[in-house]
Chain A
Amino acid sequence: MRKIFVICNFLLAIICSVMAQSAFDEANTAYAEGRYEEAAKGYEALLAEQPDEVLYYNLGNARYKQGELAQAILNYERALRLKPNYKDAKYNLAFAQSRITDNINEQDFFLSSWARTIRNSLNESTWMILSIVLFIFTLVGVLLFLLSRELWLRKTAFHVAWIALLFSLVSGLNAASLHKRDSLRNEAIITQGVVNAKSSPDRSGTDLFTLHEGTKVTIRETLSEWANVHVGSNEGWIRLTCLERI
């Protein structure tokens, strides 16, 4: 009985994947023939079942071809969340970002932007595994250092151990940072063409600055239908309908 169930499950999975592949091919054909809306619908339907970086990337392309810059950027970002070293997605994201209106000057210290770049270069699971492997290296190094009688071996083991420990810590922190980012989902893309950030979360608030579609913002907090967003050195309230979380 159990066996039959397992076999059925397995068959179902195969059928599903085959169907998904055919839907994917169909959407790709639509894209190739310039029916971008249809292609986008196809990718979206597939994404509803299961997130996949390729689907996000292709959806982003379809949206870009429709002229929906904000949606394109959003989907490239999502693809890069799943696969940080996705070269095509990186290229197209940069391309789409070169077309948005807002030029956000990040006033960050260069080290923190480096740190972010390094953090974003791998995904969370990779960082985690790296951290664990490095930790095991550290342990091996410590054991060698403590047990070996050979001086050179002890020296080498000592250096390997502390370097590995350091990198293990860094990897762990990166993984934790990515986990926090993905669980909070506090990064968002402006989807409305033009939106004015207000000084307070209501319509009567003073307009502080103007954002255009496609700009990436950080959500600090939300209050009913308003979000307190942070862009560069600016901070203001924007309605939640004007943006979409990555």
Chain B
Amino acid sequence: MKYRLSIFILFIGMALSAYADEVVFRAQAPKQVVVGRPFQLTYTVNQRSRDLRAPEFTDFDVLAGPYTSTSSSTSFVNGHRSSSFTQTYTYTLMGQKAGTFTISPATVKVDGENVQSNGVRIQVLPEDEQPAAQSSGQTSPDTQSSQSSQGSQGTSISSENLFVRTIASKTRVHEQEALMITYKLYFANVDVAQLTNNTKLPEFTGFLKQELEQGEIQTELEHYNGRNYQTAVLYRTILYPQHSGDITIEPARFEAVLRVQTRSQVRSIFDDFFGSYTNVTKMLTAPGATIHVAALPSGKPAGFSGGVGKFTLTPSISQTEVQTNDAITIKLDITGAGNMKLLKTPAIDWPEGFEPYDPKVTNNFNTTTAGVSGTKSIEYLAIPRSAGEYTIPSVKFSYFDIDEKAYKTLSTPEYTVRVKRGAGDVSSPSSEEKGVYYPQKEDIKQLGTDIRYIDTKPLKVTSHKSQIIHYNYLWLFYVVPLAIALVLLIVLRKQIKENSDVTRVRYKRANKVAQKRLRSAAAAMKANDSNAFYAAIEQAAWTYLSDRLSIPTADLNKENIASILAKKGVSEALIKDVMNVLSTAEFARYAPSTDHAMDDLYAATTNLINQLENEKI
């Protein structure tokens, strides 16, 4: 292992050292040249080399070269020594005919190894058609400038020599389709020193403007209208037309400062040598332009939010199994080219129970000459507040495809999210989120509320049946008592009836029976049989009272009779009489007396029965 590691480190060291001494072999030439004008092609190596093998310059004439030159420098910065070495091979070439040509790579030997350079593409522009300009046919820039200085000022700064063009990349576009407007300065035979800030750009009304970053102004050669011009891009912008119809872009104005050689009356040798120049400002006007904007076709889909271009949608969800109060993030990456800045953020229809937050939008756009492209990342954050299974509906994003000239709809999948109850809920079960507030009472300070504690009494052994009585037998519990009651009723009724019948008969027959006994008493009196008389009288009285008052024979005695009579509201005198008769009859039975007594008793008894008969008992 250690062995391996050391080898690895060794390799890294070698790679580093190789990197430090990396051979750089480059070919350099101007991008544009004019036919018949010499130019230089240079090959530079950063190490000592030899044996340059240049390719065959089939489309160019080799005027001179290769010249070899070397330069080296060593510098100490903060104690670090750094040295650089450059070897340059220079060719002087000349274009034969107009066109774009490629010079294939050259090779050179560095430490015995062949190193290849890059190839070079050179655009050869035709010569100026009109030799009116003094520069034509001139081979050296020095003479050109001297020529121009000799020429009259008025003719050299003409609209042919110096102008600004307005270049629209497209003039027929759809709504929201990108186009580029370029203001380009063309100049020939004039010395443009600088551009002032006094620039008036049009408003670009009707467009959404997206300026392109402007680096340093670089000049290029360009063949235009039969002449070769130095050109410089002054301003570039991407435009998105905001409505259909013909939209006119107003002319723009630029101001350039030109260096013009002064005509001095007194010409000294110094004037010629140093030259004497003045700066002249010149207003340049770029023409306006008209853009024909076609409206988007009808039949816009429901989710269309104005996107025009070409887009792709990459959805992602952070998690589908969450706990309550844990955030869920859905991220949509809209990647593509088009009017990215105008894209509306699609809305997610979160289900109930989710607390959505405002989506976070991150734009990562590049503005290139082709338009705005890049990625719009939208992060939707929502926090589930209740447990359950939820479906997040799909999000639809529609745009107008500019290449296919048709509407396209992109959509995210439906997400099913399972929300479990979070651990955070346990300690304080959803006190604040459910919105339960207990009013603060003044008299009793409530510190908190909670459920009552669990029941810890021992478990009962009794089994819980849902009901003690089965429904199939329930009716018995009603019918059996009812039957018992009915039987009781019948039996008791019968008995009562029987009882009441006996009593009533006795009651009704009381007088009759008494009279019967009295008659036998009367017969006994006639026969002077005192014993039989008293017995008959006594029986008559007792039987009568027993029947009349419904007193059973067992309970028959004087006190009972007296109390019942009193209860039934019989007068005191009559009760006394009754007692008298009863005691007399009883007494006389054991102690017989005179005849008179018998008569008296008989009369008293008869009288008493009659009186009782009249009483309401």
Interface residues of A (CB under 8 A from B): 13, 17, 20-21, 24, 28, 31, 36, 50-55, 57-58, 61-62, 64-69, 82, 88, 91-92, 95-96, 98-101, 124-125, 128-129, 132, 135-136, 139-140, 142-143, 146-147, 179, 182, 192-196, 210, 212-213, 242
Contacts and interface: CB of A to CB of B under 8 A. Distances in A.
B274 interface: no
Interface of B is mostly: loop
B449 interface: yes
B546 to A, nearest CB: 20
A212 B485 contact: no
Question: For B454, B471, B485, B488, which residue has the most chain A Cβ atoms within 10 angstroms?
Answer: B454
A193 B385 contact: yes
B426 A66 contact: yes
Q: Which of B385, B426, B431 has the most chain A CB within a 10 Å cutoff?
A: B426
B178 to A, nearest CB: 41
Nearest to A76: B451
A91 B388 CA distance: 27
Given A21-B459, A51-B464, A57 B454 contact: yes
Contacts of B484: 139
A46 to B, nearest CB: 8
A91 B450 CA distance: 10
B430 to A, nearest CB: 6
A132 B482 CA distance: 11
Contacts of B492: 143, 147
A67 B323 CA distance: 13
B508 interface: no
B466 A194 contact: no
B481 A65 contact: no
Contacts of B301: none
B482 A139 contact: yes
A68 B421 contact: yes
Contact-residue bracket for chain B:
35 or more
26 contacts: A17-B459, A21-B458, A24-B458, A28-B454, A54-B459, A55-B459, A57-B454, A61-B451, A62-B454, A64-B451, A65-B426, A65-B451, A69-B430, A82-B464, A99-B429, A99-B431, A101-B434, A132-B477, A132-B478, A139-B482, A143-B489, A147-B496, A179-B471, A192-B388, A193-B324, A193-B384
A61 B451 CA distance: 7
Nearest to A53: B464
Nearest to B496: A147
Interface string B158-195: 00000000000000000000000000000000000000
Nearest to A182: B466
B327 interface: no
A205 B452 CA distance: 42
Interface string B423-457: 00110011100111000000000000111111111
Contact of A125 (B425, B430, B469): B469
B352 interface: yes
B426 A67 contact: yes
B468 interface: yes
A147 B461 contact: no
B468 A125 contact: yes
Nearest to A196: B352
B281 to A, nearest CB: 72
